Amino acid sequence: MAPATKTRRSRLTSRQGLDVYERKRDFKKTPEPAPRRVKGTGPLKFVVQKHRATALHYDFRLEAGGTLRSWAVPKGPSLDPKQKRLAMEVEDHPLEYASFEGIIPEGEYGGGTVMVWDEGHWAPMEDADPVRALAKGELRLLLDGKKLKGSWTLVNTGDRRWLLMKRKDEYASTEDITVTQPRSVRTKRLLADIARDAGGDVAKAATGDPKIKKARAAAKR
């Protein structure tokens, strides 16, 4: 094996497990789930959480090895195979995190509003073992979500940097799905609605909602 590959693999491994997740959070202050490694049963979960923290981003999470492997995708996923979306690998999250929608208190790690933007199941296409498939640093995967479907590619381009790309199939499109489908798949809420319901920063959350809502509100005044 080439030394470069070894280095890359060991760096990836250092973010796996839930110790980093636990270290970054005070579970007396945040409503996020405490770390717990659980063996999932049945098909592998995936979730995309829209997160208005310091900046708006989409957290792409894949169940593998009893936790959620996680990437922060600043621009969100694209259905257009020509768009390569940067996905920065972050620490593993507990499986229960897949259902977290609400606010993380300001001042805490990731403070802001979190939405379950998409969810469903995933499967690696070339290696049935998801941990091994991800360790290769380049994989094709099938997503079966409510918004994201079909064949995708996830490729590591060095250290924490990965690219998330749609592959050409019947689900590929030039539609900007982050704009056309901005709401929670669980509750149909926008970020501002979630912040309002949970007593969060509504104005900050609203900056992650589509501009059309602002235009409508302005027209009503």
DSSP-derived 3-state class of residue 16: coil
For residue 25, CA distances in Å to 43, 63, 155, 206 come to 29, 21, 29, 25
| Binding characters for Mn ion, 11-50, by CB under 5 A (x = yes) | ----------------------------------------
Minimum CB–partner distance for residue 218 and Mn ion (Å): 30
Minimum CB–partner distance for residue 90 and Mn ion (Å): 7
- Distance, in Å, from the CA atom of 79 to the CA atom of 16, rounded to the nearest integer, reads 28
- Distance, in Å, from the CA atom of 217 to the CA atom of 77, rounded to the nearest integer, reads 28
Minimum CB–partner distance for residue 154 and Mn ion (Å): 17
Choose which of 25, 45, 50, 51 interacts with Mn ion (CB under 5 A): 51
Minimum CB–partner distance for residue 79 and Mn ion (Å): 21
φ and ψ of 204, to 5 deg: -65, -45
By C-alpha distance, which of 47, 68, 64 is closest to 129?
Answer: 64
Which residue spans within 35-82 are E strands per DSSP? 44-52, 56-64, 67-73
By C-alpha distance, which of 192, 187, 24 is closest to 99?
Answer: 187
Minimum CB–partner distance for residue 115 and Mn ion (Å): 11
Nearer to Mn ion, 59 or 89 (CB): 59
Nearer to Mn ion, 59 or 92 (CB): 59
- Distance, in Å, from the CA atom of 51 to the CA atom of 68, rounded to the nearest integer, reads 16
Q: Is 59 in the site for Mn ion (CB under 5 A)?
A: yes
Q: Is 101 in the site for Mn ion (CB under 5 A)?
A: no
Minimum CB–partner distance for residue 110 and Mn ion (Å): 5
Q: Is 147 in the site for Mn ion (CB under 5 A)?
A: no
Of 19-27, 54-62, 75-83, 100-108, the window that binds Mn ion (rule: CB under 5 A) is 54-62
Site size toward Mn ion (CB under 5 A) is: 2
Residues interacting with Mn ion, by CB under 5 A? 51, 59
